[in-house]
Amino acid sequence: MVELPHEMKAILLTEIGADFKLIDARLPVPEFSDQEVLVKVEYVGLTDLDAKFAQQGTPCWQYPRGFGLDAVGTVVAGPKGGHPEVGTRVMWHNDIASDGVLREYVTVPNFALTTLPSDVNSAVAASLPTPGMTALIALYKLQLEEGDAIFIESGNTCVGQLAIQMANQQGLTVITSSPKHASTALKKLGAELVCDEHEPNIGLKIQKHFGYDTVHGVIDISGKYTNKLLEFLQFCGRISCVSGLATLDEALLFKKAPNIGIVSLPGAWLAKSICAQQRMSFLGNVLADYLQQEQLWLSEKEIIAFDAESVQRALRSRIDGDSHSYQVIKVA
């Protein structure tokens, strides 16, 4: 068994809001229960979800508290005969109600972990759980068939880039919106049509390109243009909302009768659903397979130092819209 230290370095969130604050701290190394393993954290991924919670927090949080949701590390201790075994490299999306993963050691329920193949890069894997699982769930909710048309809003974001690639591999016709500068890159990822996110009549552009002005499914990532997206969704089409549900136009709802799905990774933990938490592991396995088969391309990855100042600066760039890259903190 690996000899463990008594203390570890951690980064804590002490204040939320526009002027959120992170601090460096020293904490005791946690003890694991019968259904947990102790993991030595190697990399932590920063996502738009982290940026959101740094500003808003959640009702289940008290401060100061640990921060961070996505990580890759190695199991260093656990119950005798338990799984995964000591020495196994794992990836996971953390319980939002528990301490965050921005620390050197963390306990994790063994059923929520994904074992990583030896040829998968740890830093790349750490950047995937939140955006990758979000993209997968959003696509599953749409229940589209090969040849159907999908509109992915904000295709330049991390979730959008992954959703475009996954949808393309499912044989869907992919339409997306983004800033103009991202158009060429998104077409390389598999988008057949890329619309300027500020274009006033995207439906007309779709009609000119394809000969029809409705799509079978929509992934609404930002939540800023939900009513506009519903306008070119076919009758009884499906929409997956990643950022919650906006105030919807009742006349438009009556006209389109959409099937609306809400995507919430934290909900699997907040609902205390073991089945939903185990599904996290399943989704992680899907992502690990994508990586092992080199079926996902990730844009530029920014490596962040493991200190509060560097992490706070990285989160600020994300909040300000200056970064849509995959940000990863090197812990060990």
Reported as a single tens digit per residue, the pLDDT across 104-155 is: 999 999 988 999 999 999 999 999 999 999 999 999 999 999 999 999 999 9
Do residues 288 and 258 both lie within one domain? no
Name every residue whose Cβ is closer than 8 Å to that of residue 140 and which is 6 or more positions away in sequence: none
Structure tokens at 190: 């598999």
Residue 1 lies in a domain: no
Do residues 117 and 136 both lie within one domain? no
Continuous segment of H or E residues that includes residue 273: none
Do residues 167 and 259 both lie within one domain? yes
- Mean confidence (pLDDT) of the chain: 93
pTM listed for this prediction: 0.94
Do residues 318 and 251 both lie within one domain? no
Do residues 142 and 245 both lie within one domain? yes
| Triad 260, 264, 265: Cα angle to 5° | 150
Do residues 40 and 69 both lie within one domain? yes
Number of separate domains in the chain: 2
65-79 CB burial, b ≥16 within 10 A, e <16 = ebbbbbbbbbbbbbe
Per the structure, the complete domain to which residue 245 belongs is given by 131-263
CATH of the domain at 41: 3.90.180.10
Residue 290 lies in a domain: yes
Do residues 280 and 256 both lie within one domain? no
| Last residue within a domain, chosen from 247, 263, 279 | 263
pLDDT higher than threshold 60 for residue 1: no
Residue 17 lies in a domain: yes
Continuous segment of H or E residues that includes residue 115: strand 114-115
Do residues 66 and 180 both lie within one domain? no
| Separation CA 48–CA 157 (nearest Å) | 9
Q: How confident is the model at residue 211 (pLDDT cuts 50, 70, 90)?
A: confident
| Last residue within a domain, chosen from 263, 286, 308 | 263
Cα-Cα-Cα-Cα torsion 315, 318, 294, 160, nearest 10 degrees, comes to 140
Residue 40 lies in a domain: yes
Least confident of 117-131, 149-163, 270-284: 270-284
Residue 2 lies in a domain: no
